[in-house]
Amino acid sequence: MNKAKYELADIVKRFGKSFADTQALSPQQTKALLNIVRCRTSELVGHKEVCDCCGTVRYSYNSCGDRHCPKCQNTKQAIWVDDLIENTLEVKHFHIIFTVPHCLNQLCLWNDKEYYSILFRTVWETLRSFGYTHYGCETGAVAILHTWGQI
Ligand SMILES: [Zn+2]
């Protein structure tokens, strides 16, 4: 696999400050950007690996472990995507995003389990209804929740 000319960390290094100056980033978003820039650099120090068989020594910088960092999540994501593709029917797919207004955040903090239950149930009912009404077909979905705060 060819290495990309630029990594997300390069873009964040180059434009992160001006982006942060013009956006109202949450503390989690700010921390994610900082982690992405620092990941696998001398800022996070490093560690030594020694092969049990041949004794080869390798030094590597530590990873940030941030769930938004593409370096840290790349392998996990690739495995997840491969597994999803293997278990997905060969039919037409759409990428659909449902967003929730920020004014409901406090409600989520108050009872996250019920909030997410209602959210996923509502999304699913909407997709099913839309499939029947507009296409006369049964729909399926893989639903993923993206949040910034890991509530
Ligand atoms: Zn990382």
Q: Identify the pLDDT of residue 142.
A: 87
> What percentage of the chain carries pLDDT values higher than 70?
96
Ligand 1 center to residue 43 CA distance, Å? 12
* Residue 137 C-alpha from the chain's centroid: 30
Ligand 1 center to residue 63 CA distance, Å? 5
Instruction: Kindly tell me the number of DSSP H helices and DSSP E strands found in the chain.
Output: 5, 2
Mean pLDDT for all residues in the chain: 90
Q: Identify the pLDDT of residue 76.
A: 82
Ligand 1 center to residue 115 CA distance, Å? 30
93 membership: H or E segment, kind and range:
none
Tell me the per-residue pLDDT of 82-133, one tens digit each, with 9 for 90 and over. 998 898 888 888 889 999 998 998 999 899 999 999 999 999 999 999 998 9
**Residue 61's beta-bridge partner residues?**
46
Residue 79 above 70 pLDDT? Answer: yes
List of residues 6+ apart from 44 with CB closer than 8 A? 38, 61, 62, 63, 64
Rounded to whole angstroms, the Cα distance separating 32 from 50 reads: 31
pLDDT band at 151 (very low <50, low <70, confident <90, very high): very low
Ligand 1 center to residue 89 CA distance, Å? 33
- Phi then psi dihedrals of residue 75, to 5 deg: -65, -45
Residue 106: both structure tokens together: 């406090």
The radius of gyration computed from the CA coordinates of the chain, to the nearest angstrom, equals 21
Residue 63 above 70 pLDDT? Answer: yes
